[in-house]
């Protein structure tokens, strides 16, 4: 249905890229992986067996550690994705052995950041819903404060006598989410440090070290063209997009994302799954483009905006689940539960807004392509 990216299918677009390019790409990613790992060890993050919660050094080295973890995830995802898309060009046993290990690694490393980002998203939303100024950086303390809002008016609600009750609810909801998500984040941090100190991780790192010097291609791979495999990845993406309810998503305020909004199931909504599948396929397509065109070619802006919309979809979906989950905490006050209900619905509308944004990017993509 959707028109293909022209320069993956058009054979006149340049020289034929073969398995040699894939090998070069994988070597580059493996090198970046090893560099990030070294950086992480230098900041003390690797000393995991002692006290997993504490990281050595000051705030600067903590920042370096965060960057290092992000770079590790980044190259792990790219290696894993390329092994998947260009599977026929790689020694099957080696390739099938390392892929689940890379997925385990990037999944484990992603959680700490995800919990932190989810908390920040929810606290910012609570501020917005309370009409208070969003103050990122010190989110917890500002809920219900009398700081001036974006229009310069003082946030009079907390002080006004008649508006006190449910704004207390917002503050309590924020404190509850802060407790729950900070705990989850701390646990994820420990788990990540333990993972990076584990024998399982050392085995992955050893395999990536081999990859940095010698990519286990099949004998015919160096002369095999990459474009058909990249085009197949793009087709899988296009098929998955075709299955999305894009007509609904393109009509604003369809209220589809909030159906089952009162379900007590804390898991993300089943209706979100196909969108998340497209998010993953879009990522694979993007990595395949990197392999075929080289990383110096700037990525397609429309592809990036579609991907950002799907990231926002995932973030809002998970944030809405966290609000619903927090509302199931025993013995919370009704005002807290009310605020969490408003917050949940707000994030479900963010989900709907992200679908709308994706639909717009995608239509531009397929209609506007030269």
What is the H or E stretch that residue 159 is in? none
Please check whether residue 72 is in contact with residue 216, taking contact to mean a CB–CB distance below 8 angstroms: no
CB of 303 to a copy of itself, least distance (A): 22
Residue 225 phi, psi (nearest 5)? -70, 140
Give the three-class secondary structure for 20. Answer: helix
Q: Which is nearer to a copy of itself, 133 or 229 (CB)?
A: 133
Structural element, H or E, at residue 54:
none
**Chain-centroid distance, C-alpha 164:** 37
Q: How far is the CB of 331 from a copy of itself (least distance, A)?
A: 8
Least distance to a copy of itself from the beta carbon of 336, Å?
Answer: 7
Both tokens of 365, joined, read 């993509």
Name the minimum Å distance from CB 99 to a copy of itself.
33
Give least dist CB 229 to a copy of itself, A: 37
Q: Whose Cβ is closer to a copy of itself: residue 175's or residue 333's?
A: 333
Q: How far is the CB of 105 from a copy of itself (least distance, A)?
A: 31
Comparing CB distances to a copy of itself, the nearer of 247 and 253 is 253
Residues whose CB is less than 8 angstroms from the CB of residue 68 and which lie 6 or more positions away in sequence, other chains included: 36, 37, 39, 40, 43, 45
Nearer to a copy of itself by C-beta: 95 or 336?
336
Angle between helices 301-326 and 273-293 (to 10 degrees): 150
Query: CA-to-CA distance for 107 and 121, rounded, in angstroms?
Result: 20
Please say which residue, 30 or 354, places its beta carbon nearer to a copy of itself: 354
Closer residue to a copy of itself (CB): 295 or 328: 328
Q: How far is the CB of 241 from a copy of itself (least distance, A)?
A: 20
267 to 131, 207, 209, 319: CA distances (angstroms)? 29, 35, 38, 11
Q: How far apart are CA 310 and CA 119, in angstroms?
A: 19
Tell me which H or E stretch contains 127: helix 92-129
Contact 116, 317 (CB under 8 A): no
Applying CB under 8 A, the residues found at the interface with a copy of itself are: 126, 128-131, 157, 160, 162-167, 169-170, 252-253, 255, 258-265, 324, 327-328, 332-346, 349-350, 352-353, 356
- Cβ atoms within 10 Å of 189's Cβ, excluding its own: 20
| End-to-end Cα distance, the chain | 16
Spatial contact of 132 and 149, defined as CB atoms under 8 Å apart? yes
Listed in sequence order, the residues at least 6 apart from 111 whose beta carbon sits closer than 8 Å to its beta carbon are 184, 188, 191, 192
For a copy of itself, the closer CB: 236 or 360: 360
Q: How far is the CB of 245 from a copy of itself (least distance, A)?
A: 12
The smaller minimum CB distance to a copy of itself, of residues 131 and 268, is found at 131
- Which CB atom, from 336 or from 365, has the smaller least distance to a copy of itself? 336
Q: How far is the CB of 188 from a copy of itself (least distance, A)?
A: 24
């Amino acid at each position: 249905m959707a028109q293909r990216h022209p320069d993956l299918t058009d054979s006149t677009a340049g020289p034929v890229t073969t398995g040699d390019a894939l090998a070069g790409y994988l070597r580059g990613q493996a090198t970046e992986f090893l560099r990030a790992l070294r950086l992480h060890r230098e900041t003390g993050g690797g000393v995991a067996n002692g006290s997993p919660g504490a990281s050595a050094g000051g705030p600067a080295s903590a920042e370096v550690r965060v960057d290092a973890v992000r770079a590790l995830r980044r190259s792990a995802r790219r290696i894993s994705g390329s092994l998947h898309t260009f599977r026929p060009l790689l020694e099957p046993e080696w390739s099938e052995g390392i892929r689940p290990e890379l997925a385990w690694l990037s999944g484990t490393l992603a959680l700490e950041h995800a919990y932190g980002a989810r908390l920040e998203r929810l606290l910012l939303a609570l501020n917005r819903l309370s009409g208070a100024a969003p103050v990122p950086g010190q989110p917890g303390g500002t809920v219900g404060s009398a700081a001036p809002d974006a229009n310069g008016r003082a946030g009079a609600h907390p002080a006004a006598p008649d508006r006190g009750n449910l704004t207390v609810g917002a503050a309590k909801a924020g404190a509850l989410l802060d407790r729950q998500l900070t705990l989850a984040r701390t646990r994820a941090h420990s788990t990540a440090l333990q993972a990076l100190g584990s024998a399982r991780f050392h085995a992955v790192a050893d395999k990536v070290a081999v990859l940095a010097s010698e990519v286990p291609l099949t004998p015919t791979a160096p002369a095999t063209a990459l474009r058909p495999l990249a085009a197949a990845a793009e087709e899988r993406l296009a098929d998955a997009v075709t299955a999305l309810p894009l007509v609904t998503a393109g009509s604003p305020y369809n209220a589809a994302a909030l159906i089952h909004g009162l379900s007590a199931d804390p898991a993300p909504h089943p209706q979100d799954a196909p969108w998340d599948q497209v998010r993953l396929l879009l990522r694979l397509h993007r990595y395949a483009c990197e392999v075929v065109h080289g990383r110096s070619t700037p990525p397609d802006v429309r592809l990036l905006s579609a991907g950002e919309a799907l990231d926002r979809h995932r973030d809002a979906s998970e944030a809405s689940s966290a609000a619903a989950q927090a509302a199931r905490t025993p013995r919370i006050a009704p005002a807290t539960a009310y605020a969490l209900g408003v917050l949940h619905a707000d994030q479900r509308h963010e989900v709907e807004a992200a679908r709308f944004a994706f639909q717009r990017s995608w239509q531009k993509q397929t209609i506007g392509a030269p």
